Amino acid sequence: MDDITLGVIGLGIRSDLVELAHRPGEGSTVAAVCDLDPRLLASARERFGPQVRTAQDHRELLDAGLDGVFVLTPDHTHERIGLDFLAAGVPVFLDKPLAITTGGCDRLLAAAHKHRTPLYVGHNMRHMPVVVAIRRLIEQGAIGQVKAVWCRHFVGHGGDFYFKDWHADRRNTTGLLLQKGAHDIDVIHWLAGGSTRRVNALGGLTVYGDITSHRDRSGERMTEWLSTENWPPLSLTGLNPVVDVEDLSMMQMQLDNGVLASYQQCHYTPDYWRNYTVIGTEGRLENFGDSEGAEVRVWNRRSDYRAEPDVTVRVHTPAGTHGGADPVLVAEFLRFVREGGSTVTSPVAAREAVAAGYAATTSLRDGGRPVDIAPVDPELAAYFAGGQR
């Protein structure tokens, strides 16, 4: 089997993902990379071999004969870069979120359809073992018909992860309810079997807005300042020069199939994990932990408070980042490039996650008023549902 040749746009932290795809002689090889930082470009040959082509402008690689490209750049650049490669006929892996506006997502979907270029979105949580276990229980009827989904996301490292670099500036993300929340909103939709059509939200910059220590970290990577010793939250220093995204957000969703859902996100909790609760007509399930040692517990009998569930599913986490999800994600994209067909991730679902997060951010910045969300164009939805043939 000949190697497919891959490009990488963006050599930051998330580019570790592509090292899973660089297997010269085993099916795929990284042939070209692009980044604005010359220091990261200088390290590319050590990572991917002396043959790798380097560029500081992604447009230099549009005609490089690539079989696929990973776009792993800051969120606000996804749309422009994705549109260029889709128009050039190069299959695209776009890391989540698909874009930072609903309109941006729709333009990307339309471009993939127009040019018949495969588009894949990196919603790796659809491959996370704890999420897979929850979905399997739902499909098996463990709690009957789903009626409600709640998610609480405790972003314990939020100050380091999202308030010391470009994430803190809404021009780059719209807001963290979209940027960080796109993962969980997609999972909520997947577990509920529907998409949000109406949303309202409240939130604010409740802690990190009080910190006056700022620093330009251009050229630095998050691993250089991340520390579990950065605690309590108000002791943090060196925040991004612009901090205008919310650190506490709560949204409520009405889905097109009647399911009601809620999502809460806090960036200054002492712990870092997410908790899903799914309520159905015949029971309730909930995850405790979301990595190695996690459990999904199911309650099916009437009672007063009862800590002991009726069913406990222990979740094994295989090797690999994001609970073993990233190796599966990359393998799915490579198979998609070679063969096409359906995938567990979905560009339309990725759009719906952004649309919900975008509408929720609009709502919370306008006093919590309800915001309606238009569905994807039916022709586009049918095209992607058909496997992008």
User: Would you say residue 261 lies in a domain?
Assistant: yes
Nearest to 180 by CA among 202, 158, 149: 158
Q: How far is CA 123 from CA 89, 94, 118, 345, 389, in A?
A: 22, 9, 16, 6, 21
User: Would you say residue 149 lies in a domain?
Assistant: yes
* Percent of the chain whose pLDDT exceeds 90: 91
User: Would you say residue 138 lies in a domain?
Assistant: yes
User: Would you say residue 389 lies in a domain?
Assistant: no
Q: Both tokens of residue 343?
A: 């995938």
- Residue 368 amino acid letter: G
Q: Would you say how long the chain is, in residues?
A: 389
Contact yes or no for 252/163 (Cβ under 8 A): no
Interval 63-92 mean pLDDT: 98
Asked if pLDDT for residue 14 goes beyond 70, the answer is yes
User: Would you say residue 165 lies in a domain?
Assistant: yes
Asked if pLDDT for residue 129 goes beyond 80, the answer is yes
Range of the domain at 173: 126-325
User: Would you say residue 244 lies in a domain?
Assistant: yes
The span from the CA of 292 to the CA of 270, in Å, is 19
Q: How far is CA 37 from CA 3, 40, 163, 218, 238, in A?
A: 28, 6, 21, 10, 21
User: Would you say residue 92 lies in a domain?
Assistant: no
Would you state the pLDDT for residue 216? 93
Number of domain units in the chain: 1
What global pTM score does this model have?
0.96
Mean of pLDDT over the chain: 96
User: Would you say residue 117 lies in a domain?
Assistant: no
Interval 321-326 mean pLDDT: 86
Would you state the pLDDT for residue 292? 85
- Residue 275 amino acid letter: N
Handedness of CA 168, 198, 250, 362 (dihedral sign): positive
Residue 217 belongs to domain with CATH number = 3.30.360.10
Interval 370-376 mean pLDDT: 98
Q: Report residue 214's pLDDT band, with 50, 70 and 90 as the boundaries.
A: very high
Contact yes or no for 33/54 (Cβ under 8 A): yes
Q: Report residue 1's pLDDT band, with 50, 70 and 90 as the boundaries.
A: low
Q: Report residue 320's pLDDT band, with 50, 70 and 90 as the boundaries.
A: confident
